[in-house]
Structure 1
Amino acid sequence: MRNQRLYFDHPAHVVSVAVAFPVISIIFVSLRFWARKVQKQPLKADDWLIVLATLLTVGLGITQLYGVYTGALAYPTQIPPGYTGRVSGLHTTQLIIKSQIEWAYAQMFVLALGCIKASFLFFYMRVFAIEKKSFVSKLLTGLIIFEAVWTAALYLSVLFECGHRFWFIWSSDDEYTTHCIRTHPRYFTLCIIDIITDIAIISIPIPLVLRLNLSRSRKIAVSSVFLLGGGSFFASLIRFVMTAGNLVGGNNITYDNIIGATGSAYWATVECGVGVMAACLPTVQFVIRKRFTEWSACNRKDGFGSRSTDPGGHVAHSNRSAEVAFAKMDTCPNLPASLVYPASIWTEESIGKENFAWDERILDMTR
């Protein structure tokens, strides 16, 4: 037995997460689409996948709200008066709804995770896979195929965990364990693969950035943009602890079936919400920063001296060894040459094949 209530054992906390993360996800995706419009970028697979992930995150929030409303989540298991059997043999309305919610959010969670990770990978295809036959392009394509196959396999295993006899999913625990596939190995596998793929997705851009001819501080600045996706890693790590039923602050969340399901649903929503935000941040933060810089530069009376004489233009720069392209876009006469987010180069008809010397002004991400 536990000594005190955990945060996700409080209905108010569960409701807060169920509302906050879907809403924040919608806001970030809206900003992402605004950024694409500002950059004059076409909407591609990475954008549409994150939209689907957001819709699924909203679905996770709705299932949690319904669970709290019906008392099937965030409340201890209710034992009927006079019941003397084992808890695993209970088959009450509360437990039926809990099992139905658990089955629904498990399906949405698997699909949402797959969409988020695939969105990251397709985004990297925009940025780094300039040449279709390059090693980076082949690596990302392979990871996308793996993620698609893994997501499909896991989704089907959740959907048909009791074969075609779906009613056993919301039967008593005794009947479920007799007729259905054990869920613990599957969830442990999901958590482990999830953490491994998170690490891979976070790590992919770093070696490419480190190969650029930049100062150490500039490399750190560029790398930090891509490391924003690390937030979802910590959420998945915490969810792994929840699912594994390890002690958290001296309390085991699996002491009660409903509380255990609530903890898993709670952190599933957190992970998906953080994942959506992390996938949108690299695009959104650059456009916001660039707009603010342009506004500040255009409103400065003294300008930037001799560096502000460019009439405004659009020049592409590429580094074939790193397979990364950058562009110079001056939209304000008083604004010095600045880095355009690598994805912006996608609108160029041709970026050229020669190696350009890196321009310190173009690669200054700290402005």
Structure 2
Amino acid sequence: MAWNVANFVTLAVLFAFLSIISIALRFWSRRVNKTKLGIDDALIIPATLCVVGIAVTMIVGTALGEMAQHQKLEIGPGGPIYNNSRATYEKCNYVLQLLSLASLGCSKTSVLFFYRRIFSIHKRFELINTTLIVLIIAWAVSFFFATAFQCKDPVTFWTTFEYPRVNCVDAYSFYYSVSTTGFITDLMILSSPIPIIWQLQMPLKNKLAVACILLLGAVVCGAGIARFVTFINVGRGFIANIHDVTYFTTPVFAWTMIESSLAVVSANLPILRPLLQKQTYTDSYLWSMLRSTLPLMAGYNQQTPKSGSKASLPRKFHHAGKDGSSGYQVSMDGVQMEPVPPLDHNIYMQREYEVA
């Protein structure tokens, strides 16, 4: 794709707008559905602000740093001159890296806390979820500070050309590790609820529906792969284009914006279902569904009889007249019922009788 200032700025504004709209709809959905706000909602706010910051930085970079433009190289007696435009470009590059890591870290953690809301009934999942939360926070914080101090003196990043820079990490290897580990963490997050979804006592089509809703983050994996491939290609041709860096690196910044924005949007989409349908697989519905399909996996149903024992339950029988009249209702206490043998995972089936 041939980049220019117009389509670069348009991309920045468009994806920032998508993030803002999605978070606005998220909180509207919470209000419509009368759902209590949680940590997942709180975390998506800074993630969105970072995406907006990325858009602003991209616009500033095009206006003052020749970003998405062919570099206007000034040659002096000793070689290329490091001018103000190049310094602004490098500052924007530096800020974009930090904002992207902060945004992705908050988005990933928000998704994990959203899963925690739904599947906290499952103790094993809760343990896995906690481990992933700690891992993602460690990933985001460690790479954030590693990026901030990739040069011993951060000022070096925007005061000298890439070659030769001293007391700095190898940029190619560093960005490679960030992209690779980021993609791996995305896969870990997306795959974490799959085992529970597969265990739900519901038709296959419903399982697939739930999985599709929760796996909307797969689009982020796609964007992450595209960004990674773009970075590899840019890295291989970087030396050959060393005097036109401001234009040659444009695709990396574009995919940085796309990935960060889609991470926010995909974290918000599962919460928007109440705006489209009365019956939803998110939050309260998923919670009640899990309680009904996997009740004893959390051990919260204390009234379920043990295997081999009888349950004494109050029963109500409703008699309807032939003409459709309401008839009468008879209550019977102490009806003895043989329990159904336990299924896997200590799940017990309940019999229900309706007499007409």
2:140 pairs with one of 151, 156, 176 = 151
1:208 paired to 2:175? no
The residue number in structure 1 matching 2:329 is none
Contact 1:169–1:176 (CA under 8 A) maintained in structure 2: no
Deviations 1:22-57 (CA, angstroms, capped at 9, x unpaired): 111111111111111122222111111111100000
Matches within 5 A, 1:356-367: none
1:97 paired to 2:91? no
The residue number in structure 2 matching 1:120 is 111
Deviation at 1:83, TM superposition (A): 4.2
Q: 1:262 to 1:174 in 2, by over 3 A?
A: closer
Structure 2 residue identity aligned to 1:277: V
Matches within 5 A, 1:155-194: 155-163=144-152, 165-173=153-161, 177-194=165-182
Contact 2:5–2:68 (CA under 8 A) maintained in structure 1: yes
Deviations 1:191-215 (CA, angstroms, capped at 9, x unpaired): 0011111111221222211111222
1:198 paired to 2:186? yes
Matches within 5 A, 1:1-367: 6-7=1-2, 9-80=3-74, 82-83=75-76, 90-130=81-121, 134-163=123-152, 165-173=153-161, 177-245=165-233, 255=241, 256-284=244-272, 286-291=273-278, 317-320=292-295, 355=348
Alpha-carbon distance between aligned partners in 2 of 1:115 and 1:354, rounded to the nearest angstrom: 36
Moved more, 171-180 or 111-120: 171-180
Alpha-carbon distance between aligned partners in 2 of 1:62 and 1:97, rounded to the nearest angstrom: 13
Structure 1 residue identity aligned to 2:134: I
Q: 1:94 to 1:291 in 2, by over 3 A?
A: same
State the identity as a percent: 27
Contact 2:18–2:261 (CA under 8 A) maintained in structure 1: yes
Deviation at 1:179, TM superposition (A): 2.9
Structure 1 residue runs without a partner (length 5+)? 1-5, 294-313, 326-352, 360-367
SS at match of 2:292: strand
Alpha-carbon distance between aligned partners in 2 of 1:111 and 1:187, rounded to the nearest angstrom: 15
Superposition RMSD in Å: 3.0
Alpha-carbon distance between aligned partners in 2 of 1:27 and 1:63, rounded to the nearest angstrom: 20
Q: 1:263 to 1:212 in 2, by over 3 A?
A: same
Deviation at 1:162, TM superposition (A): 1.9
Contact 1:67–1:73 (CA under 8 A) maintained in structure 2: yes
Matched residues, number: 297
